[in-house]
A and B are shown apart, each in its own frame.
Chain A
Amino acid sequence: MPRARRILTAAILPGVLLVIWAVAAARSPIVPGVGEVLGVLTRPFRQPPLLDTTSLAHGTLISVLRVAMGFGLAVLLGVPLGVWMGLSRTARDLFAPMIALTMAVSPIAWLPIAIIVFGLSSPASVMAGDGAWQYATLDRLRFAVVAVITLGSIWPIILNTAGGVRQVRESYCEHVRLLGGGRRDLLRYAVLPGALPSAATGLRLGAAISWRVIVAAEIFPGTRSGLGAMIATAHEVGEYQYAFAAIGVIAAIGLLLDGGFRLLEERLSHWRRKER
């Protein structure tokens, strides 16, 4: 039974980790037990009594909203820019050096600069909701943090989209041209569908980076909400069960995100595996 064997093999390391954790929790007063962490996870709406952050559920919502905004903006800007760079040599010459330079710097390093540029502004400073809940939530989506996520995730989107556009076979473009298609048809029927699988890879990589960047950005002093902030404050007061629970949620959402985008990528590139 190769399938059962594979599942068993995959379960070995997580199992070992669980055993190590249980032993460590039993021997150390700092490491929380599995039960304590499960207690946090099963009551996600409870405000942590000793922590200066919101509940686990609200923290998750804040982190997800920040990523959705930052990553969404990266897609909106990155895909058209990637298509342009794939099509035009001038655009490539214009942006490529800048991209290479910016990519070399970790996105988190931009946070202080982003704070200088955006200050404490948030969607709430532009459009406040009616209820206090909405206002409080919107206010936490600081533009500075969102900008850092965009800056971190936009590069793989741009580069993969541009690469995908450049890899579209000339014969496909010629085919559309011969059928009487104009420039717009060429883009619609040959270039964009041909570049989609590669662009989807860019989206998957970008999404993974956004999710990693958000946690790091939230650990940064001054951010008092989100899963990253929960880990940081749990560490400050020694309430590690909250840090462990937050790490569990981060891993689960990261897995879901990766799985979802992998599925999208496979669906968009079914034809590519057997392209002749």
Chain B
Amino acid sequence: MTPDTVLISFRDVSRRFSTPRRGEVDALCHVSLDCRAGRITGIVGPSGSGKTTLLRLAAGLDQPTAGEIVYPQWGPSVAPPPWAVVTQEGNLLPWRNIRRNITLPMRLRNVPRREANRRAETLLRQMHLPNDVALSYPHELSGGMRRRAAVATALACRPQLLMLDEPFSGVDEATRRRLGQQVLDLRMQYGQSILLVTHDIEEALLLGDEVVILTAAPGIERVDIELPHPRDPLAKAFERRLIELRHRLTSR
């Protein structure tokens, strides 16, 4: 797959919800967007701008009320889905230990148990998780470890596109930076395509090859970020882009 191959294409997509108190609410309004292979696409916007709705639509967990979502590489109803999602809740089943969580996608694809366990160990190492985590249950881990285990579970199905919904929320600054670096490693070392939803514009700028700004206003704004990796948040060029993005976000 070449780096510019379109994986998911949103064509004038809208999603409207009926709520008991506020009536009809537009969560997403006339969004057109291409998500390309081998890139980190950062989706930023304030709370309630429809970021999670966009991700759920991309993952096929929800259907648009208008417009269409096309997967040029995969066709309309590909199974199993070639993407994986790490949700805000951390997509781990609480009754399975971490190893059994990571091996689940492989078991569903009939990978033999021994091979699945071996790959789970590799994934734990890749996400810098100690070996003894394998037998722990999600509730026994810290927030940061749970996120990494969730990413390892998502990677276990070798997805062509990894969708991350606020993967770093609720963890401390140091863990946040480490997780960010690991996401970047996935993109740099393995060419992993990533769709990253975040409310933190600095995070999107630090990691994204392109940033999509989403607000309550119809449509989106797409900005290419050409800054080389690794990016220094204290560098002048970075600060300039950050101010520019903040300005674009608030002026929409």
> Residues on A close to B: CB < 8 A?
171-172, 174-181, 185, 189-190, 193-194, 196, 270-272, 274-276
Pair B59/A179 contact, Cβ less than 8 Å: no
When distances are taken between beta carbons in the complex, the residues of chain B under 8 Å from A189 are 93, 104, 108
Given contacts A193-B93, A271-B95, whether A179 and B104 have CB atoms under 8 Å apart is yes
Pair A179/B105 contact, Cβ less than 8 Å: yes
Pair A180/B108 contact, Cβ less than 8 Å: yes
When distances are taken between beta carbons in the complex, the residues of chain A under 8 Å from B81 are 178, 180
Pair A180/B139 contact, Cβ less than 8 Å: no
Give the dominant DSSP class at A's interface.
helix
CB closest residue in chain B, given A272: B94
Q: Which of B84-92, B177-185, B189-197 contacts A (4 or more CB under 8 A)?
A: B84-92
| B79 interface residue (CB < 8 Å to A) | yes
Across chains A and B, the number of contacting residue pairs, with CB separation under 8 Å, is 55
When distances are taken between beta carbons in the complex, the residues of chain A under 8 Å from B137 are 270-271
Excluding A171-B91, A274-B139, 20 further A-B contacts by CB distance (< 8 Å) are A171-B87, A172-B93, A174-B61, A175-B93, A176-B93, A178-B84, A178-B85, A179-B80, A179-B84, A179-B105, A179-B108, A180-B109, A180-B157, A181-B108, A185-B108, A189-B93, A193-B93, A193-B96, A272-B94, A275-B94
Number of B residues with CB within 8 Å of any CB on chain A: 22
> Residues on B close to A: CB < 8 A?
59, 61, 79-81, 84-85, 87, 89, 91, 93-96, 104-105, 108-109, 137-139, 157
Q: Tell me, in angstroms, the Cα distance from A181 to B106 when the chains sit together.
A: 11
User: Shortest CB–CB separation between residue B10 and chain A, in angstroms?
Assistant: 19
Pair B91/A175 contact, Cβ less than 8 Å: yes
A-B pairs with the 5 shortest C-beta distances? A180-B80, A274-B139, A271-B94, A179-B105, A193-B95
CB closest residue in chain B, given A190: B93
CB closest residue in chain A, given B80: A180
Pair A180/B61 contact, Cβ less than 8 Å: no
When distances are taken between beta carbons in the complex, the residues of chain A under 8 Å from B91 are 171, 175, 178
Of A171, A177, A179, A275, the most chain B CB neighbours within 10 A belong to A179
Give the dominant DSSP class at B's interface.
loop
Given contacts A271-B139, A274-B139, A275-B139, whether A180 and B79 have CB atoms under 8 Å apart is yes
Q: Tell me, in angstroms, the Cα distance from A266 to B191 when the chains sit together.
A: 45
When distances are taken between beta carbons in the complex, the residues of chain B under 8 Å from A175 are 87, 91, 93
9 contacts between A and B (CB under 8 A): A174-B61, A176-B104, A177-B61, A178-B81, A178-B84, A179-B80, A189-B93, A190-B93, A271-B139
When distances are taken between beta carbons in the complex, the residues of chain A under 8 Å from B96 are 193
CB closest residue in chain B, given A192: B95
Of A174, A194, A196, the most chain B CB neighbours within 10 A belong to A174
CB closest residue in chain B, given A271: B94
Q: Tell me, in angstroms, the Cα distance from A179 to B156 when the chains sit together.
A: 10
CB closest residue in chain B, given A269: B95
User: Shortest CB–CB separation between residue B186 and chain A, in angstroms?
Assistant: 18
When distances are taken between beta carbons in the complex, the residues of chain A under 8 Å from B108 are 176, 179-181, 185, 189
User: Shortest CB–CB separation between residue B4 and chain A, in angstroms?
Assistant: 26
Q: Tell me, in angstroms, the Cα distance from A194 to B94 when the chains sit together.
A: 9
Q: Tell me, in angstroms, the Cα distance from A171 to B139 when the chains sit together.
A: 16
When distances are taken between beta carbons in the complex, the residues of chain B under 8 Å from A185 are 108
Q: Tell me, in angstroms, the Cα distance from A190 to B157 when the chains sit together.
A: 18
